[in-house]
Structure 1
């Protein structure tokens, strides 16, 4: 696996090179995904947060430049609008619908094409320097890729917490199962969008 050169920031940050991004973008556009939020994706994120007992969850589609949270759950139900910025106010994580590709852990999941469990991101030097750790206080992550029938990783589903979390094997099974469920739903869109 190759990586983009480190960014000239305070910490070493290695965002994985994503050679599949152009094909992913074509596939997402063909399915009508990745450009607007939908109530069904927000409902899925709400259910994912409930099942995982996590304060934040996302359905995330990734293109060459950014991540788009088509489904988003936050503890207060906020950030359902189309705000471009993600900000931290009063110590609470506040997410908008878009995030830079070099923020967070979902781009790693898409490139790896495997689930990622980080019970405490600070235990992993490669991930501890990610901007979401300092900017938003993210301490725990659990995500799985959304790989469709064509073999393209369209994006991810994930849950995050501001406290370390022992996700364990049960969490891993849950995130993988819910990813498979969402992929089935996404593939039903093909007839609607003429693919």
Structure 2
């Protein structure tokens, strides 16, 4: 593996660890996030909206408007493409049927989605947790005002998720998952990945000690 590939792989592993330690996987159906997706859908007049978290191999929907929260496979997905755009720019797909790269996107295959607009949810330390997205089963275009609203609401959603208290409330799940991933990395003799994940685990465990002081909210 060349240096560039190794760097990207470790950067993605660090992003995944940041997703885990945010505590978001304990937020299915969160009331504040529900209000945000409802505002996005109604203000932009889209039938569907969601907070989509990009995990290792899946998209995990914390909340959804217009359909039940679910999981999708990550490969070929809109949200995976969205978090990889330079500068975390919004992803705008007016008609997925005219976009060959999204021909087999899970939302297209499973929900007949054609229009998709998303703003990445980016933490203050620069990690994309996923997206706030709106979807429709017919082609759609939106103006700059609507796109600005979506971007602002994505920032609001990130703030709801990325709270120290939330991370601590759901730390046990993150610790268990990090331990599992460390074991797999060790079994694969991937020392770099095992070291990175171990550092993330130690930092999270340190935050759980009684004498640790959380950052100001």
TM-score normalised per structure 2 = 0.65
Whether the 8 Å contact between 1:49 and 1:57 is mirrored in structure 2 is yes
Partner of 2:81: 108
**Residue correspondence of structure 1 range 155-194 to structure 2 within 5 A:** 155-187=130-162, 189-192=163-166, 193=168, 194=207
Whether the 8 Å contact between 2:32 and 2:160 is mirrored in structure 1 is no
Counterpart secondary structure, 2:25: coil
> What is the RMSD computed on CA atoms of the aligned residues?
2.2
Alpha-carbon displacement from aligned partner over 1:37-57 (angstroms, at most 9, x marks no partner): 023222221222112111110
The 1:130–1:39 alpha-carbon spacing in structure 2 relative to 1, beyond 3 Å, is same
Separation in 2 of the partners of 1:182 and 1:18?
A: 26
Query: Higher Cα Rg: structure 1 or 2?
Result: 2
The 1:155–1:140 alpha-carbon spacing in structure 2 relative to 1, beyond 3 Å, is same
Separation in 2 of the partners of 1:35 and 1:99?
A: 18
Partner of 1:26: 17
The 1:162–1:183 alpha-carbon spacing in structure 2 relative to 1, beyond 3 Å, is same
More helix by share: 2
Separation in 1 of the partners of 2:144 and 2:51?
A: 21
Partner of 1:150: 125
Structure 2 residues without counterparts, runs of 5 or longer: 1-7, 169-206, 208-213
Work out the number of aligned pairs and report it: 159
Counterpart secondary structure, 1:111: coil
Q: CA deviation at 1:186?
A: 3.0
Separation in 1 of the partners of 2:112 and 2:165?
A: 41
Separation in 2 of the partners of 1:18 and 1:138?
A: 30
Alpha-carbon displacement from aligned partner over 1:15-71 (angstroms, at most 9, x marks no partner): xx8764322232223221135402322222122211211111000111111111001
Which residue of 30, 35, 52 corresponds with 1:43?
35
Deviates more, 1:143-152 or 1:25-34: 25-34
More strand by share: 1
Separation in 1 of the partners of 2:164 and 2:107?
A: 34
Q: CA deviation at 1:141?
A: 0.4
Partner of 2:45: 53
Separation in 1 of the partners of 2:44 and 2:132?
A: 12
TM-score normalised per structure 1 = 0.72
Partner of 1:92: none
Counterpart secondary structure, 1:117: strand
Structure 1 residues without counterparts, runs of 5 or longer: 1-16, 80-95
Counterpart secondary structure, 2:61: strand
Whether the 8 Å contact between 2:113 and 2:135 is mirrored in structure 1 is yes
Separation in 1 of the partners of 2:10 and 2:83?
A: 11
